[in-house]
């Protein structure tokens, strides 16, 4: 299911902070890193089932308040970090909302059964030959 940013853009909370990494002296002056927060619990963009799927798939990234927090500081510019954070959020939500395919049970073929039994018989003989031989 495709997720579009405009569906929940008004629910995003962005905070810009100074970041380490590339940028030289600029790093100490400009708040280029972005901290993006999206509250899954209170979101109106997704229904209850979708919220459950998101919380289950991203459980290790969601805090106690139900917020999904992304911290991006890979680029020197605030705009590029903001862009990447939003793209990554959409990507995470799309992956979380993919329903896994239901597994269809299949029976093993006759050849597979026979191969398994032959293997067991061969192993059995190997172990039987290892046993203590009676010397009369």
* Predicted pLDDT of residue 75: 85
Q: What is the CATH number of domain 5-96?
A: 3.30.160.20
Burial 46-85 (b: 16+ CB within 10 A, else e): beeebbebbbebeeeebeeeebbebebbebbebeebbebb
* Predicted pLDDT of residue 27: 66
Give CA–CA dist 120/86, Å, rounded.
55
Tell me what the mean pLDDT of segment 109-113 comes to: 96
The verdict on pTM exceeding 0.75 is: no
Give CA–CA dist 73/92, Å, rounded.
18
The string of pLDDT tens digits covering residues 74-100 is 888 888 999 999 999 999 999 999 988
The string of pLDDT tens digits covering residues 1-56 is 677 777 778 888 888 888 776 666 666 777 888 999 999 988 888 899 999 999 99
* Predicted pLDDT of residue 123: 96
């Amino acid at each position: 299911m495709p997720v579009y940013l405009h569906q929940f853009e008004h629910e995003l909370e962005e905070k810009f902070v100074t970041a380490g990494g590339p940028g030289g002296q600029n790093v100490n002056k400009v708040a280029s890193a972005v901290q993006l927060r999206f509250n899954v619990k209170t979101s109106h963009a997704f229904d209850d089932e979708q919220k459950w799927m998101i919380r289950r798939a991203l459980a290790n990234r969601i805090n106690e308040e139900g917020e999904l927090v992304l911290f991006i500081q890979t680029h020197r510019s605030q705009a590029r970090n903001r862009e990447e954070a939003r793209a990554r959020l959409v990507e995470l939500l799309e992956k979380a909302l993919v329903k896994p395919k239901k597994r269809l049970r299949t029976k093993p073929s006759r050849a597979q059964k026979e191969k398994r039994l032959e293997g067991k018989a061969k192993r059995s003989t190997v172990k039987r030959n290892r046993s203590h031989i009676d010397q009369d």
